[in-house]
Amino acid sequence: FIKSDGTLWGWGYSSFGQLGNTNMTNPIPFQLSTDTDWHKTFAGVANAFFIKTNGTLWGMGNSEFGLLGNGSTTQVNPTLQQIGTATNWQKISASSDMTIGIKTDGTIWGWGQNDQYEMGNNTCCANQLTPIQIGTANHWVDIETSLGASIFALKNDGTLWGWGLNLAGLLADNTVMARSIPTQLNADTDWASIHVGAAHILALKTNGTLWAWG
């Protein structure tokens, strides 16, 4: 978590270095960095990502498959490191297989495993070790990943899109076939927010109704 003074704190499991050490347990909150310009935090399965007030992206922890986007597949990374040089990161959603990020310019980026078309560029199956843009659209407003290899995103026109692994029918098309590029899930244009579990999804519409599938 981030305090009002901009300092970064954490506790819990850290054997992959996601809290800056390799302890199995960290039972009380402790400061992770002396910097005072932290803005947002995002927890992965065994790693963590942080955005500073200047829009730069940082991470530590497990980078198997390239999960950290630092060009490496080293699993234990207990030191904070900047990911790329971009200064306009907005949100990160990380799974056990890949990591997806959205920038303030409305573009989506991905890195990590690509064995189920997680990178959304119709290629398979080499790991992506650094962030690459997914598609060319620049009007995405939100992103969510499943625990594994499914990705969902909302556009500013209220449409819902998905790609990657179609476990349990997550991509809402009555099949279990993977989708290699971002694919619109239905014709509705009133989706407001999405929340994804391991193999199901909950979605809110602008009229306040709640929908689920998977």
pLDDT at residue 97 in the model: 93
Q: Residues 170, 194: contact at Cβ < 8 Å?
A: no
pLDDT at residue 199 in the model: 83
Instruction: Find the helix or strand (DSSP H, E) in which 111 lies.
Output: strand 108-112
> Mapped to the 3 state alphabet, what secondary structure does 80-96 carry?
CEECCCCCCEEEEEECC
Instruction: Find the helix or strand (DSSP H, E) in which 29 lies.
Output: none
In angstroms, rounded to a whole number, what is the distance separating the alpha carbons of residues 181 and 163? Answer: 6
User: Around Cβ 128, how many Cβ atoms within 10 Å?
Assistant: 21
Coil, strand or helix at 65: helix
**Per-residue pLDDT for the chain (214 aa), expressed as one digit of tens each?**
999 999 999 999 999 999 999 999 999 999 999 999 999 999 999 999 999 999 999 999 999 999 999 999 999 999 999 999 999 999 999 999 999 999 999 999 999 999 999 999 999 999 999 999 999 999 999 999 998 899 999 999 999 999 999 887 888 777 777 889 999 999 999 999 999 988 889 999 999 999 999 8
Amino acid at 105: D
pLDDT at residue 65 in the model: 97
pLDDT at residue 74 in the model: 97
User: Around Cβ 61, how many Cβ atoms within 10 Å?
Assistant: 26
State the virtual CA torsion across 214, 175, 108, 104 in degrees, nearest 10. Answer: -40
Question: Which tokens in the block code for residue 39?
Answer: 């803005």
Coil, strand or helix at 66: helix
